Structure formats: structure tokens, C-alpha cells
Amino acid sequence: MFTYDIYAPWYDLQNEMDDVEFYLDSLREYGGPVLDAGCGTGRLLLAFAREGYETAGFDTSQEMLERARKKFAAEAPDVRERAAISFGDMRSFQLGRKFKVGLFGCNTFQHLLTNQDQDQALQSMYNHLEDDGILLLQTTNVRFHEHDPDVLYHRGREFNPETNQWVDGSYVYHYHQHLQIMQFTLLLDIIGEDDRISRKQIVLNLRYTFPPELERILASNGFALEALYGDFSRNPVSRDSPWIIAQARKRRLNI
Ligand SMILES: C[S@@+](CC[C@H](N)C(=O)[O-])C[C@H]1O[C@@H](n2cnc3c(N)ncnc32)[C@H](O)[C@@H]1O
């Protein structure tokens, strides 16, 4: 995805998540290998491989993948050998192997904008899971009451040690409610030495999904919902939860 090619140098700086222990706990319970669909810069892949799990990840952004590859190149050989990183689309990937656990982490599933896209991605994941395999799918719980639409919010100023630059971030939401798509625009004002500001505009269209709908989508693609959490401490989903995290199990289709 080209948007992420622009965002890649800033992604890790701006996307620290508290999800790693949650996924590692699941791997301790169910075992590997684990597939990370839309693995981006390898944030989760690296944590899994370091803990000794066989991992695979794919993504459509070459710049994000390049960062993942660089991270692994700096690791010990045994960690490097545990990870397979490739270019691939969530809707059509074919890796030729099966996994115990598959995940759509960090809002990745929200990039699937249509019902058909969602179904294709879930079917592709289904085909890559072992019998009884576990799917973990996390999305944002859209809190309309927290962000007024079409208002520019200041995110703050951050220093990127990699590029040696300060960046001033702002963002705005626009809701296409009839499509269940929120358009999230992130403005990155990168401050140059000569006081010239270079502006990068990251526009992401993100489909949102509500819990009962998610259960139905999972069921119609061969997954039985086992648990639904509102955060990575496994609290139930409420109006104010930051996330919707589904744990589902692959079941045999009666077709
Ligand atoms: C929010 S990032 C999450 C990255 C990573 N999973 C993480 O946890 O940090 C979403 C990722 O999904 C990728 N992506 C978007 N659409 C995709 C698609 N159709 N197939 C594969 N990857 C896709 C983007 O390139 C981006 O790297």
C-alpha cells in the first residue's frame, strides 16, 4: 500500500502498542508457527521470533517490508532463520504452509473496505490455519464521542533519531457512516534545518466493524468466536474500550 511507503520512516516512532505480551501469551498457550498478515515493519514478527516462534509475515508496502528485513538482518542467525517475510495481499496470499495462530494485528483488518475484501482475507487466513487453528483479529473500537469529525487535533512533536528530524503531527477524522469507513488523515510536518517544513499527508481509509457484526463475519467464514476483548488486558468490550480484539477458532466447514 503506497500510503505506508510514505509513512514507513515514521511508523515505529508513532505506533507503540501494548499488544506484544497479549500475543505472546496466546502463543504460549497455542504454540506456533504464527502468521502476521500485514506485518508492516515487523514489530510483532520480531518479538515472536526472538521468543523462539517460527513466524511468517507479508505486506503490500515494500518500504514497510524493507524496514522489517533490516531489523532481522541485525538479529542473531537463529532469530533471522525463524522469520519468513514476503510481499503479499491479505485478500489473496498463498504461502503454501499452515500455521497454528494467524493474526490481523494493529488495525490491519480495517484496510479491507468492502465485505468482499473482508471475506477474501478471512478465507485466505482460513486456508492457512491448521485444523483448530486460532485467529486473533484486532480493530479500533470507533469512539465517535471522542473525536469530533473534521476537526484537526494536534498530536504533538516527536524527534525521529533515525532521520534526525523533529516532526509535528496533527490528525483529522472524517466519517463516512453509511459505508462504515473513517477517513483518517495524518499530517506530518517535518521540520528542516533551514526552518522549511516539509508536509507529508497520510490518508488512510479504515473500515470499522462492530462486535456483533464481527461475530457474524467470522462465523460466515468458518470461525467460531471464542472471546472478545476491549483491550490487551482482556477486559470486555465497552463503549469506551480502545480496541475490539476477537479470538476465534477455525472450524470445519460443512460444505
Ligand atoms: C497499521 S499497519 C500494521 C503493521 C503491523 N501489523 C504492526 O502490528 O505494526 C497496517 C499494515 O497493513 C498493510 N496493508 C494494508 N493493506 C494490505 C493488504 N491488502 N494486504 C497486505 N497488507 C496490507 C500496510 O501496508 C501496513 O503495513
Instruction: Report pLDDT digits (tens) over 141-188.
Output: 998 888 899 999 999 999 999 888 999 999 999 999 999 999 999 999
Closest protein CA for atom 8 of ligand 1: 106
The ligand 1 atom at the shortest distance from the C-alpha of residue 15 is: 9
C-alpha cell at 243: 480496541
Give residue-wise pLDDT tens across range 68-78. Answer: 999 999 999 99
What is the arithmetic mean of pLDDT over 41-68? 98
pLDDT above 90 covers a percentage of the chain that reads: 90
Query: 253 falls in which pLDDT band (50, 70, 90)?
Result: low
Residue pair 58/50 in contact (Cβ under 8 Å)? The answer is: no
Residue-level pLDDT at 56? 98
User: pLDDT tens-digit profile of 191-205?
Assistant: 987 889 999 999 999
Rounded CA-CA distance 51/24 in Å is: 8
> What pLDDT score does 254 carry?
61
Q: Mean per-residue pLDDT for 131-137?
A: 97
Q: What separation in Å is there between the alpha carbon of 195 and the centre of ligand 1? A: 33
- Cα–Cα separations (whole angstroms), residue 70 to 74, 160, 198, 210: 7, 17, 26, 36
Q: With CA atoms as reference, report the closest residue to 101 among 22, 18, 31, 19.
A: 31
Q: Which CATH fold would you assign to the domain 2-142+209-250?
A: Rossmann fold (3.40.50)
User: In this prediction, what percent of the chain has a pLDDT beyond 70?
Assistant: 98
CA of 205 to the centre of ligand 1 (A): 12
Give the Cα separation of 47 and 153 in Å (integer).
32
Ligand 1 atom 7: residue of nearest CA: 106
Domain boundaries, the chain: 2-142+209-250, 153-207
Write 26-33 long-range contacts (CB < 8 A, 24+). 26/101, 26/134, 26/136, 26/247, 27/51, 27/53, 27/101, 30/100, 30/101, 30/134, 31/100, 31/101, 32/99, 32/100, 32/101, 33/97, 33/99, 33/100, 33/101
Q: What's the CATH fold of domain 153-207?
A: N-terminal domain of TfIIb (2.20.25)
Instruction: Give the pTM.
Output: 0.95
Residues with CB under 6 A from ligand 1: 1, 4, 15, 38-40, 43-44, 59-61, 64, 89-91, 105-108, 111
